[in-house]
């Protein structure tokens, strides 16, 4: 089954054709990073307008004239409402014009499903760490499209904390990936940042470490001391990654599934990838993660998630609307 998938939840316009949920036949992404870098972050109205301009040209790239697909899938939440609406509206029009079934996909489920493309032999059950700019969850994937929430952040998401820390030490947008690159050159023991201890066994909190970064930069400036940005970035990254990996590995071990997967934009972090593999395998887990290209927003992951939703008969009417606050657990 060939599915044309559309993703437009934030500032990347993406389209792909995915076969049977596991094989990417074609894909393309129109990035807006250079545009939003001028403003230091994503401007929703600009993002929406850029999606409108990008969608038709992307179709020409992934589905040459004369080729057909069996269904169309689209991200309908969570995300920026205007950005989501552009993709949803386009997908509804395409489905109507070609008489195709329309498959609604949760963006977070898409991130989890990127692992199915990267690892064709991977099957549920397994535990997955979902870490991105807006989400930090640990979920048990009980079956395709079926999840149990094990832990989540009580405040900031990990990706949000990375972006805020980057801004504090003068790293331009997009902060998280650039901080990661800078941290590779630094000493991660040079500064001490706290690791939060929260009530839930697998829950997170990143507001404390974010505040510690702000306070430490103010203290150093008041004392006239130079901030060693490479060491600062490395020490902060170490604190966040330690928290992410410790609880994700513990949840995977306790679940008995024996498998841990990573997903989301933060899964592209180099230290997180190294530590998750090393600590996970030391704990006896099989560790899975998508390539970096499938960690950030893309349409291939949406096409993978859509296939399993289609098998369950979960189609959308043409009245489908964007749901910017859509949840992965209890979305119905």
Q: How crowded is residue 297: how many other Cβ atoms within 10 Å of its Cβ?
A: 26
What are the C-alpha distances in Å from 16 to residues 3, 230, 302? Answer: 8, 37, 9
Binding-site residues from annotation for Fe cation:
107, 111, 297
Contacts of 62 (CB under 8 A, 6+ apart): 4, 15, 16, 17, 26, 27, 28
Binding-site residues from annotation for substrate:
130-134, 163, 176, 180, 269
Residue 105: Cβ-neighbour burial (10 angstroms; 0-12, 13-18, 19+): buried
Do 16 and 299 contact (CB within 8 A), yes or no?
yes
- Helix residue spans in 198-291 (DSSP H): 207-222, 229-255, 270-282
Q: How many CA atoms within 13 Å lie on the side-chain side of 121?
A: 4
Report the distance separating Cα 30 and Cα 28, nearest Å.
7
Helix (H, G, I), strand (E, B) or coil at 41: coil
Binding-site residues from annotation:
107, 111, 130-134, 163, 176, 180, 269, 297
Q: Do you know the residue count of the chain?
A: 332
Tokens matching residue 262: 């990573």
């Amino acid at each position: 089954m060939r599915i044309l998938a559309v993703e437009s939840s934030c500032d990347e316009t993406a389209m792909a054709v995915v076969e049977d949920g596991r094989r990417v036949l074609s894909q393309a992404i129109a990035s807006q990073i250079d545009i939003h870098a001028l403003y230091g972050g994503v401007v929703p109205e600009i993002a929406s307008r850029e999606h409108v301009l990008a969608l038709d040209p992307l179709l020409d790239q992934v589905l040459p004239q004369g080729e057909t697909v069996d269904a169309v899938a689209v991200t309908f939440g969570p995300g920026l409402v205007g950005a989501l609406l552009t993709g949803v509206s386009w997908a509804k029009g395409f489905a109507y014009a070609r008489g195709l079934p329309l498959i609604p996909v949760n963006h977070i489920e898409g991130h989890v499903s990127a692992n199915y493309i990267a690892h064709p032999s991977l099957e549920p059950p397994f535990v997955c760490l979902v870490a991105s700019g807006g989400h930090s969850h640990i979920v048990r994937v009980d079956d395709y499209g079926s999840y149990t929430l094990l832990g989540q952040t009580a405040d900031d998401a990990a990706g949000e904390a990375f972006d805020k820390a980057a801004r504090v030490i003068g790293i331009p947008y997009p902060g998280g990936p650039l901080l990661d690159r800078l941290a590779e050159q630094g000493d991660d023991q040079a500064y001490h940042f706290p690791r939060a201890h929260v009530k839930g066994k697998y829950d997170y909190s990143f507001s404390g470490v974010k505040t510690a970064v702000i306070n430490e930069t103010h203290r150093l400036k008041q004392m006239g001391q130079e901030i060693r940005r490479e060491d600062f970035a490395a020490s902060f990254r170490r604190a966040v990654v330690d928290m992410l990996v410790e609880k994700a590995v513990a949840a995977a071990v306790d679940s008995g599934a024996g498998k841990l997967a990573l997903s989301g934009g933060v899964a592209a972090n180099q230290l997180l990838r190294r530590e998750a593999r090393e600590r996970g395998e030391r704990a006896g887990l099989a560790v899975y993660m998508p390539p970096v290209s499938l960690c950030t927003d893309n349409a291939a992951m949406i096409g993978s998630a859509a296939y399993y939703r289609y098998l369950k008969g979960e189609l959308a009417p043409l009245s489908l609307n964007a749901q910017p606050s859509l949840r992965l657990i209890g979305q119905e």
